[in-house]
Structure 1
Amino acid sequence: MTIIVNGGAGSLPDIFARPLAEKLHAALGQPVVVDNRPGAGGMVALQHLKDSDGSGHTLAIVTNAHAVWSPYVFPKLTYDPAVDLKPVSPVAVLPMALTVNPQLPVSNLAELLALARREPGVLNYASSGNGSPPHVLFEVLREQAGVDIVHVPFKTGPDALTATVAGDTQVYWAGTALVEPLVKSGRLKLLAVSPHVDSPTFADVPTLQQEGFAGFESAVWLGVVTHRDTPDAVVARLNQVIGEAVADPAFVATMAAQGSIPYHDSAQGFAARIAAERAEWGPVLERLGIRPN
């Protein structure tokens, strides 16, 4: 079996794919390979899934960016999420952390926004690419706050992270699982999270909702999809195995240590959530006018 990941080694999807691959291998008795295919807002990875057969032996890790947002961002999208992706199971809700380079002279979100208002167009923020969760959600925040902070897209999350730690970019909004080691070591400064997580690194940090910004509390999730022709019985079996993996105490502990929240539902429930979010987010993304580089 193969799990395709839109991201390099160490990226946020990769962090989830590798323990999940181990669980699938143990449950199904088959080798499970993680295939990293970053680039083009997920099109490289999901085109590869689209070109696979419908046996259920090829899976892909997606976020809501790939399954919901991409049609509103990429005019020449090479796959249709509503047609080519068959939902298998959600895996986790991904709390997001708003971080800055420690040299930036701000201690909280209010100070960051005040600085942005005093110096419009001077500050910048990194993302893992146009249409990615860090990009879309920061644009929603930027619109709500009425500030001008320049977007700097990178190919992968680790690239964006490295740039922010180095000071080449100043702000990065990413999954808590990705930034947690750098926050603990002091190489990134933490300003806000969404939603609240119990991990010691993030427990005392205000949420965006507490700071007066709405729509972020469960905005980012990660899940598994497969080829559209995969039989329902195979999808049901995969859903069962993933559900058992997500409920495993060791997996729960790993996710909790990174501030992520395990999340499982039936394949049908997962599909219904995706459809509902397409209807909800379409007008937002049309208004923001996010497009590829």
Structure 2
Amino acid sequence: MLTRRRLAAPLLGLLALAAAPVGHAADAYPSKPIHVIVNGAPGSLPDLFARPIAEKMRQSMGQAVVIDNRPGAGGLLAMTNLKNSAADGYTLAIVTNAHAVWNQYLFNKLPYDPQADLQAVAPVAVIPMVLTANPGLPANSLQDLVALAKSKPGVLNYASSSVGSPPHVLFEMFKLQTGADILHVPFKSGPDALNSTIGDRTQLYLAGSALVEPQIKDGRLKALAIDTKDRLPSLPNVKTFDEQGFQGYESTVWLGIVAQTGVPKDIVQKLNREITKAVQGDDMKKLYASHGSIVYTSSVEDFAARIKADHAVWGPVIKKANISLD
């Protein structure tokens, strides 16, 4: 009888344990500070996006959210640091589509694999890109530009902030789509490319709206198109690419937050909800607008699908244009 009682006690304990509800990883998350890796120094554009999100998350989640600035090497340093961190949701990174998509095709050898190593968490913003021209260029629409370029192959040129930059890659897509023969002139920075186009040393420049909007409004540049879904309220007379019959350019430059592959799904979903909540307030919309961007939110699944679709679109563009950063 005593033996039976001794055997029954552990058995009952095991049955009780089996019947107990199974907890989720997200229930206890976060239990320590979260780190957000930023490819840029304090005060850089990615840093300006990341810090207010971190503060909002700190307030709502009750844990410190620490910005970890890792500038250099075109984002490779930041992405390698993320890859080498534990897949527990306590290390995130703010990225652009260059880090999550383009780098795979711009570099022959990467220290990380964007498709295998990065887990989509949440998008945060898109940066409207405006195709501008020197006022002396005899073209006032995309159709005018294509016709002019085809009538003078190799004569027109466009500036970019650097090889492999968003203005460069986007303009090469435009060339491939239209068959226009327009020469690329790379510079060391956006302001250098901007000043060259204002001074008529180059004729075209595709850039973030915040950089070129003042020059468009004072007449030093004219705008031919913008890549947003709808016209920008601050530039209401500038038609979108889509309005002018050119598809595939909608909101092409984006920023988002990723984790390393392997983070539990319920933690990723919780982070998506927190980040989405952080950027949707009117204060954040105004702040992002001051940086020349538009708040962009979606589910984890839709963000992952967007990244996958971008690989299918931009991989062939970069390869056909023979753009390389090696």
TM bucket normalised to smaller? 0.7 to 0.9
**Cα distance, 1:43–1:203 mapped onto 2, change above 3 Å:** same
Q: What letter corresponds to residue 127 of structure 2 in structure 1? A: L
Shift of 1:47: 2.3
The aligned runs of 1:1-293 (5 Å cut-off) are 1-6=34-39, 13-28=46-61, 29-33=63-67, 35=69, 37-40=71-74, 42-102=75-135, 106-117=139-150, 119-154=152-187, 157=190, 160-161=193-194, 164=197, 169-184=202-217, 186-256=219-289, 260-292=293-325
Q: Is the Cα–Cα contact under 8 Å of residues 131 and 290 in structure 1 kept in the other structure?
A: yes
Do the aligned partners of 1:121 and 1:149 also contact (CA within 8 Å) in 2? yes
**How many residue pairs align between the two structures?**
292
Unaligned 5+ segments in structure 1 are none
Alignment-mate amino acid for residue 213 of structure 2: E
RMSD across aligned positions (CA): 3.3
User: Residues 259 and 115 from structure 1, CA distance in 2 versus in 1: closer, same or farther, beyond 3 angstroms?
Assistant: same
Give the deviation of 1:250 after TM superposition.
Answer: 1.4
If the length of structure 1 is used for normalisation, what is the TM-score?
0.80
The structural deviation recorded for 1:129 is: 3.9
**Secondary structure, aligned partner of 1:76:** coil
Tell whether the 8 Å contact from 1:180 to 1:258 is kept in structure 2 after alignment: no
- Unaligned regions of 5+ residues in structure 2, if any? 1-33
The residue matched to 2:185 in structure 1 has which SS?
strand
Q: Within 2, Cα distance between the matches of 1:111 and 1:125?
A: 15
8 Å Cα contact 2:97-2:253 kept in structure 1: yes
Q: Secondary structure at the match of 2:242?
A: coil
Question: What is the DSSP-based 3-state SS (H/G/I as helix, E as strand, rest coil) of the residue aligned with 2:245?
Answer: coil
Partners of 2:259 and 2:53 lie apart in 1 by 15
The one-letter code matched in structure 2 to 1:35 is N
Structure 1 stretch 175-184 or stretch 268-277: which is displaced more?
Answer: 175-184
TM-score by length of 2: 0.73
CA 13–155 in structure 1, closer or farther in 2 if over 3 Å, else same: farther
Deviation at 1:227, TM superposition (A): 2.7
Query: % of aligned pairs identical?
Result: 51
Q: Distance in 2 between matches of 1:187 and 1:34?
A: 39
Larger radius of gyration: 2
Which whole-Å CA distance do the structure 2 matches of 1:111 and 1:26 have between them? 51
Structure 1 residue 193: Cα displacement: 0.5
User: Matched residues in 2 for 1:280 and 1:196: separation?
Assistant: 18
- Relative to structure 1, the CA distance from residue 32 to residue 77 in structure 2 (aligned partners, 3 Å threshold; closer, same or farther) is same
In the alignment, the residues of structure 2 paired with residue 182 and residue 30 of structure 1 have an alpha-carbon distance, to the nearest angstrom, of 41
